[in-house]
Structure 1
Amino acid sequence: MNLDKKIDYSIALLRKAESMALRLNPENGFYLAFSGGKDSQALYHIAQMAGVKFKAHMNLTSVDPPEVIRFVRRQYPDVELIKPKISIYDIAKKKGILPTRQLRWCCYVYKEQNAAGKINLVGVRKQESTRRNNWKEMQINGGKTFKGNFDQFSIHNETMISCMGGGKEKIVVSPLLDWTEQDIWTFLNTVANVPHCELYDKGYRRIGCIGCPMTHYKQLLREFSDYPHVKRNWMKTIEWLMTNKWTDVRWDNPEQAFNWWISGKSFDKFYADEVLQQKFDFDL
């Protein structure tokens, strides 16, 4: 489909799903997950074009780029900024572990819990990763395995809503699932005609938490260089963990542990590649 058809399809999807959103949250309708990035901007403006009822929320984590927060406050003052009750560093101390790709507890603590029991709008796109190729335009998250297209949900929406028992589940709607990155930029620049966060103009391809474990290694190096205070705080956290929680781990110092964390390697591989090899005496 060309962009015009994708826009029409996304709008139709939102309008069809609105009845379920209002059923679960009559006051605000959809729970729109907003980050200040290009995809969440497109999602916000598509929801406006659809004329559906929604409330946009941005869940802060204490490691948010200040440029993004300023941009959202200036351009999207109606977005609710949800401040963390406890910093990500203190939660890491409490849990005794840093957030990683395999244990991404940060998203659950700061974002997923607030959206439970509602119809969530997210800006997920299949093009972003192979893992997202399995996403459906509507699916239940939070323990339920059913996934399907909108027609399946609309036929059984009473059943789907009743499946969200316990308050932990949520129905996730992804209106931009088949959009490309070029679609997003064309939409923002020509259809919505809105400005974007300055970080994109500085070479950032993705906007999110500083040091997100889902970010590739080179980007992490740049982020911690651009925001040294975040690295300092993580180093202090790691030092505390080494003293109080990781007493049986073989790290020589916090810097070594930090380098392992952002490398994306397993403990054994990093230790073999970066630590043991440094200890070999090649002069022998």
Structure 2
Amino acid sequence: MSTLEEKILHSEALLSDLAGRVDPARVRVAWTGGKDSTVVLFIWKTLVEHAGAGPVRAINLDTGCKFPEVLAFRDRMAAAWGVDLHVARPAVALAGYPLARDPLVCCRELKVEPLKKAVRETGTDFLLTGIRRDEHPDRIARKEMEERSDPDHTLVNPLLDWTESDVWAFHARFGLPHCELYDQGYRSLGCRPCTTLPDVQGGERSGRAGGKEAVLSALTNLGYF
């Protein structure tokens, strides 16, 4: 098992290599406002600014049913860190929309399609995520570099071998801010209809709706990260 220091160095090396061979204008972080993607945003921001190639660029999915605390945190941090932020929103009207009734349809229309549109509109060739293998069984076999189509781009997953504890230890080491919902007991933040406080004896994503968790592999195949 690698130490946190080794994991940090590995993630930095992966992103440093990317920064050295790709125009940062073609790279964006899939920043949810959560603890994991904030780590990725911080590392990439540090590398980009060190190279004098800022600002750091990101895509945020605003489904229309996110926690207001997450959105407020996103806006505060985007301003404080000078993030070139593209907010992707669904094309469907939410008034009367059957939220979470069919998790696959709901996530496809509110997340997958807006994400694809944002990747196309921003000319993003490399999308950095904060996903981790230990979060969900369907993420165990994920790779650090994944080629995607419709539109063509590469998904880069620099935190795959990190743990939840690693993420929080990194936050503490570098004094990274986080959404206050974590202080209230939340461990994984999604849309409001599909997110509750986790079970006391449950895992990190035990507060996520079971229906959505069951179709995560299908959503990945459709284009979600």
Same fold (TM over 0.5): yes
Question: Based on CA coordinates, which of the two structures has the bigger radius of gyration?
Answer: 1
Residues 21-40 of structure 1 correspond to what in structure 2 (within 5 A)?
A: 21-22=22-23, 28-40=25-37
Displaced runs of 4+ in structure 1, greater than 6 A? none
Q: Provide the C-alpha distance between the structure 2 equivalents of 1:141 and 1:90, rounded to a whole number of angstroms.
A: 32
In proportion to residue count, which structure has more helix? 1
Give yes or no for contact 1:12–1:50 (8 Å, CA) kept in 2. Answer: no
CA-to-aligned-CA distance 1:215-270 (integer Å, 9 cap, x gap): 5xx659xxxxxxxxxxxxxxxxxxxxxxxxxxxxxxxxxxxxxxxxx6739xxxxx
Give yes or no for contact 1:61–1:88 (8 Å, CA) kept in 2. Answer: no
Aligned to 1:89, what secondary structure does the other structure show? coil
Give yes or no for contact 1:18–1:29 (8 Å, CA) kept in 2. Answer: no
2:87 to 82, 87, 95: 82
Which residue of structure 1 lines up, in the alignment, with residue 205 of structure 2?
A: none
Give yes or no for contact 1:42–1:188 (8 Å, CA) kept in 2. Answer: yes
Q: 1:31 to 1:81 in 2, by over 3 A?
A: closer
Moved more, 115-124 or 4-13: 115-124
Q: CA deviation at 1:74?
A: 1.6
Instruction: Tell me the percent identity.
Output: 31
Q: CA deviation at 1:193?
A: 0.7
Q: CA deviation at 1:113?
A: 2.9
1:69 to 71, 88, 98: 71
Give yes or no for contact 2:59–2:118 (8 Å, CA) kept in 1. Answer: no
Aligned length, in residue pairs: 190
User: Do residues 137 (structure 1) and 144 (structure 2) align?
Assistant: yes
Q: CA deviation at 1:16?
A: 1.3
Q: CA deviation at 1:29?
A: 3.3
Structure 1: which 5+ residue stretches go unaligned?
Answer: 143-166, 221-261, 266-284
Q: Provide the C-alpha distance between the structure 1 equivalents of 2:210 and 2:74, rounded to a whole number of angstroms.
A: 31
Which residue of structure 2 lines up, in the alignment, with residue 100 of structure 1?
A: 103
Which residue of structure 2 lines up, in the alignment, with residue 173 of structure 1?
A: 156
Which residue of structure 2 lines up, in the alignment, with residue 264 of structure 1?
A: 211
Structure 2: which 5+ residue stretches go unaligned?
Answer: 199-208, 213-225
Residues 104-183 of structure 1 correspond to what in structure 2 (within 5 A)?
A: 104-105=107-108, 106-116=110-120, 118-142=125-149, 168-183=151-166
Cα RMSD (Å): 3.0
2:193 partner amino acid: G
CA-to-aligned-CA distance 1:89-139 (integer Å, 9 cap, x gap): 26957xx99441476312212223312452000001001011001100001
Q: CA deviation at 1:88?
A: 5.3
Q: Provide the C-alpha distance between the structure 2 equivalents of 1:109 and 1:187, rounded to a whole number of angstroms.
A: 32
Give yes or no for contact 1:140–1:169 (8 Å, CA) kept in 2. Answer: yes
- TM-score, with length taken from structure 2: 0.72
CA-to-aligned-CA distance 1:33-56 (integer Å, 9 cap, x gap): 111110011111111333365412
Q: 1:102 to 1:90 in 2, by over 3 A?
A: closer
Q: 1:72 to 1:90 in 2, by over 3 A?
A: same
Q: 1:85 to 1:101 in 2, by over 3 A?
A: closer
1:84 partner amino acid: R
Q: Provide the C-alpha distance between the structure 1 equivalents of 2:107 and 2:94, rounded to a whole number of angstroms.
A: 14
Q: CA deviation at 1:73?
A: 1.6
Q: Provide the C-alpha distance between the structure 2 equivalents of 1:97 and 1:198, rounded to a whole number of angstroms.
A: 25
Q: Provide the C-alpha distance between the structure 2 equivalents of 1:66 and 1:139, rounded to a whole number of angstroms.
A: 32
1:62 partner amino acid: G
